[in-house]
């Protein structure tokens, strides 16, 4: 059988077989007990792979941070290959509505076109700019599960100040923030299992149709998309591209951290309940584990990540290092008590351990290894956090803390 066909069949079959097996296993042997955690040592932040202590911020930025990012690219999320031919990026503002939400904001529908001789892919990027605020405005950019071409982004007629999808954009506009959204499936189409039709094809040389073991999975492609959104924002004079907060929930919270770690044009990052492959520490194996993740979602990470299943201690990184790569830019982690699949304590600890680098760079981090009390947000240090009661969602209380965190770090309030 032809090799490409064989790979495709395997690709389609493995998840089906695994998900049939996992339907039984998915909720089994998941550890949620703090007293049953494995013992672990985290890889050091401030010692290079070659054992050299990192003594100055310059050494962090020139030696250790690039080293860590490269480990993430090759072993966890997947490296973006060099494109087959240069990819041309173009923007077209296809629609502009200055009367969005009864005149509170201007909505711009922007088509971002990515093209080379291998093909053309486009993203539908949404940009909302408050009308009654001095320009350029700081803005949030959300990695979105909602399709930016659907009516999810219309203003709700029944709840003034909200989008149909429930996001409180009116509150953002009142506080002087713009809001942008990039849709996770624009670059990957609707099938995460099959990469042939989306962005990946622009990057493959003749004969390649599938990522190599160290090449990009879904989360890396999402991060690439958000960076193209940032390219557009750099050209929009209504938006202050030096004050963009990238944010996302759950799978998109994972994409958020990876985007911000690599692309330092994002001035602040907010990861909401990002869990496994997001803020949570791999080595705790609490709630979702690497094994559960790669068997249910084989393409979110790169295939090299599979090699560490049940070998987490061999990973040269853990997720505190991903957050540390965002330093000194503010990073916020949001958890909730019942979202145990995402390991709230593991999310917090990662932020706590990343604080070592923030402090090394002269910023404020989290000072206690103990989880803060419920609804006692930490907003004024560069590493922020809150935990609330309840489950897996972004609630009004969470939105409010995200805005307060940005107010503090963007506006000094």
Tell me how many degrees the CA angle 405-410-413 measures, rounded to the nearest 5: 65
List the x/- string, 332-351, binding to ligand GCU by CB under 6 A. Answer: ---------x----------
Active site residue 386: no
Distance between CA atoms of 369 and 362, rounded to whole angstroms? 20
Query: 48, 122, 156, 392: which one is catalytic?
Result: 392
In the numeric block, which tokens belong to residue 214? 């160290």
Closest contact distance (angstroms) between CB of 220 and ligand GCU is: 16
Instruction: State which residue, 121 or 279, has the beta carbon closest to ligand GCU.
Output: 279
Closest distance of CB 318 from ligand GCU, Å: 16
- In angstroms, the CA 340 to CA 335 distance is 9
- Name which of 60 and 72 has its Cβ closer to ligand GCU: 72
Residue number with CB closer to ligand GCU (129 or 290): 290
For the CB of residue 78, give the shortest distance to ligand GCU in the complex, in Å.
17
Cα distances (Å, whole numbers) of residue 146 to 51, 131, 154, 249: 45, 24, 12, 12
| CA 393 – CA 47 distance, rounded (Å) | 37
250 is annotated as an active-site residue: yes
CB of 274 to ligand GCU, least distance (A): 7
**Pair of tokens at residue 133:** 């605020």
Q: How far is CA 319 from CA 254, 289, 316, 348, in A?
A: 10, 13, 10, 11
Question: If binding is defined by CB under 6 A, does position 76 make contact with ligand GCU?
Answer: no
Binding mask 217-256 for ligand GCU (x = CB under 6 A): ---------------------------------xx-----
Q: How far is CA 342 from the centre of its chain?
A: 14
Terminal C-alpha separation, the chain: 64
Strand 119-130 to 105-116 pairing:
antiparallel
Residue number of the CB closest to ligand GCU reads 251
State the Cα–Cα distance between residues 356 and 364, nearest whole angstrom. 9
Around 269, how many Cα atoms within 13 Å sit in the side-chain half-sphere?
Answer: 35
Residue closer to ligand GCU, measured from CB, 288 or 398 = 288
Write down the least CB distance from residue 198 to ligand GCU, Å: 19
- Find the catalytic residue in 73, 144, 220, 250: 250
CB of 369 to ligand GCU, least distance (A): 24
Nearer residue to ligand GCU within complex by CB, 230 or 293? 293
Give CA torsion, residues 339, 345, 346, 351, to 10 deg.
110
Which positions from 269 through 328 interact with ligand GCU, judged by CB under 6 A? 275-276, 288, 293
Q: Rank residues 80 and 301 by Cβ distance to ligand GCU and give the closer one.
A: 301
Alpha-carbon distances of 264 from 220, 246, 248, 261, 329, rounded to whole Å: 15, 11, 17, 7, 8
Q: Which residues are catalytic?
A: 250, 392
- List residues binding ligand GCU (CB under 6 A): 250-251, 275-276, 288, 293, 341
């Amino acid at each position: 059988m032809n090799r490409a066909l064989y790979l495709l069949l395997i690709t389609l079959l493995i998840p089906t077989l695994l998900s049939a097996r996992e339907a039984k296993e998915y909720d089994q042997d998941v550890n949620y007990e703090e007293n049953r955690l494995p013992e672990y040592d985290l890889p050091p932040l401030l010692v290079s792979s070659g054992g050299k202590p990192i003594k100055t911020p310059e050494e962090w930025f020139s030696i250790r941070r690039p080293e860590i990012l490269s480990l993430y690219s090759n072993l966890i999320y997947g490296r973006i290959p060099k494109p087959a031919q240069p990819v041309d990026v173009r923007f077209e503002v296809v629609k502009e509505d200055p009367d969005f939400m009864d005149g509170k904001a201007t909505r711009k529908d922007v088509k971002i076109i990515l093209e080379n001789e291998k093909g053309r892919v486009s993203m539908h990027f949404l940009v909302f700019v408050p009308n009654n605020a001095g320009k350029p405005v700081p803005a949030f950019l959300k990695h979105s599960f909602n399709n930016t071409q659907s009516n999810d982004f219309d203003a709700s007629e029944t709840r003034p100040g909200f989008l149909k999808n429930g996001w409180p954009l009116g509150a953002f506009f009142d506080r002087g923030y713009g809001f942008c959204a990039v849709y996770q499936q624009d670059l990957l189409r609707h099938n995460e299992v099959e990469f042939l039709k989306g962005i990946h094809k622009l990057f493959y040389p003749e004969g390649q149709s599938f990522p190599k073991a160290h090449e990009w999975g879904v989360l890396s492609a999402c991060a690439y998309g958000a960076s193209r959104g940032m390219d557009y924002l750099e050209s929009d004079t209504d938006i202050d591209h030096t004050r963009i907060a990238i944010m996302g929930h759950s799978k998109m919270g994972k994409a958020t951290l990876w985007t911000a770690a690599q692309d330092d044009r994002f001035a602040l990052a907010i990861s909401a309940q990002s869990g496994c492959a997001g803020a949570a520490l791999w080595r705790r194996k609490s709630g979702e584990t690497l094994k559960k993740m790669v068997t249910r979602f084989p393409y979110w990470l790169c295939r090299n990540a599979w090699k560490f299943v049940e070998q987490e201690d061999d990973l040269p990184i853990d997720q505190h290092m991903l957050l540390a790569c965002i330093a000194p830019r503010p990073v916020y982690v949001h958890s909730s008590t019942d979202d145990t699949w995402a390991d709230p304590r593991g999310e917090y600890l990662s932020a706590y351990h990343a604080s070592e680098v923030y402090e090394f760079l002269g910023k404020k981090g989290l000072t206690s290894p103990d989880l803060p009390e419920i609804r006692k947000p930490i907003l004024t240090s560069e590493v922020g956090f809150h935990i609330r009661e309840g489950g897996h969602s972004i609630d009004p209380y969470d939105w409010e803390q995200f805005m307060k965190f940005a107010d503090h770090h963007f506006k000094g309030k």
